[in-house]
Amino acid sequence: MTTLAAAVATRLPARWVGSAACALYPRFEPELGRLADFCPRGGTAVDVGGWYGPCSRRLAARCDRVVTLEPVPHLAGHLKQTLPRHAQVLQAAATDRDGTAQLWLPEGDRGDRGLSSLARRDIHSHSVDVRTLTLDSLDLHDVGFVKVDVDGSELPALQGAAALLERERPALLIELETRIRPIAPTVGLLTGQGYRGWVLRTRTWVPLTRFDLAGHQSRTEHLVHQGLFRRALVPRGRRYINSVLFLPDGRAPAAAG
């Protein structure tokens, strides 16, 4: 279902929509406001699924280099025009192979709603061909943090970053939603690579093993279908949680419980 705000957004200049998204997004995804808990200063950060740039902007204020992947053409163009010069924008989707693929979008959507994915779902009606690449093919070094928001394509994106994860051991912030794809394969992959999951519950990080993510998302899924502005008004204690922090074994975020 398209919200009124989403419908209006398609008719507004990208810079206006981008500014609103960057201002409001941390209100319902407070993990972005807690980068200091897990993202080291300096070095390189990677933003897979840049959208309008709410994460890339914050990373650019913290890291020496930001590499942002965004496959939707007009969004990639917007990011190239608005992000700082030390942020590199690649118009591509991260997966487990280099080449091209179909990026699926909902009816009437050009990618502005943040629901595009290489994995087709019942909400998708049309597609565009996009470039795909693996994070390993970028040969990045001094990587301290990677964010992945790819609406159901997390597993192939991480499989294409196996060498990077083994070599760099970065912190990972990954959007996982049980309504889109089972999360067990992704969690199992990272657990096998020596990572441990954490969830920001109100103001404290708790281990994923002590948090029923599937049950929580089932109870709060109705919030997903609200617009950006309405979701920003939801009290933090009742928000929909879909971001999971993964840290190498032996590391814990600040304010961990």
Q: Residue 257: which pLDDT band, with cuts at 50, 70 and 90?
A: low
CB atoms within 10 A of CB 252: 15
The pLDDT assigned to 227 comes to 67
Mean pLDDT in residue range 130-141: 98
| C-alpha atoms less than 13 angstroms from C-alpha of 35 in its C-beta half-sphere | 23
The pLDDT assigned to 180 comes to 93
Q: Which residue has better confidence, 179 or 17?
A: 179
Q: Residue 70: which pLDDT band, with cuts at 50, 70 and 90?
A: very high
The pLDDT assigned to 12 comes to 52
Taking the C-alpha atoms of residue 200 and residue 242, their distance in angstroms, rounded to an integer, is 10
Q: Residue 2: which pLDDT band, with cuts at 50, 70 and 90?
A: very low
The pLDDT assigned to 3 comes to 42
Give the tens place of pLDDT for each residue, 101-111.
999 999 988 88
The pLDDT assigned to 7 comes to 46
- Backbone phi and psi for residue 230, each to the nearest 5 degrees, phi listed first: -65, -40
Q: Which of 31, 45, 91 is nearest to 236 (CA)?
A: 31
Q: Per-residue pLDDT for 5 more than 90?
A: no
- What is the average pLDDT value for the chain, to the nearest integer? 90
- Would you say 225 and 195 are in contact if contact means Cβ atoms under 8 Å apart? no
Give the tens place of pLDDT for each residue, 175-230.
999 999 999 999 999 999 999 999 999 889 999 999 999 999 999 998 887 766 67
The pLDDT assigned to 8 comes to 43
Q: Per-residue pLDDT for 247 more than 60?
A: yes
Pairing state of beta strands 124-133 and 99-106?
Answer: antiparallel
Mean pLDDT in residue range 127-156: 97
The pLDDT assigned to 91 comes to 98
E strands, 96-181, are: 99-106, 124-133, 143-148, 171-175
The dihedral region occupied by 200, where left means phi > 0, alpha psi between -120 and 50, and beta the remainder, is: beta
Q: What domains can you pick out in the chain, each with its CATH number?
A: 4-248 (3.40.50.150)
Give the tens place of pLDDT for each residue, 26-49.
777 899 999 999 999 999 999 999
The pLDDT assigned to 109 comes to 86
Taking the C-alpha atoms of residue 67 and residue 87, their distance in angstroms, rounded to an integer, is 6
Neighbouring-strand partners of residue 128:
103
3-state SS assignment for residue 100: strand
The pLDDT assigned to 4 comes to 36
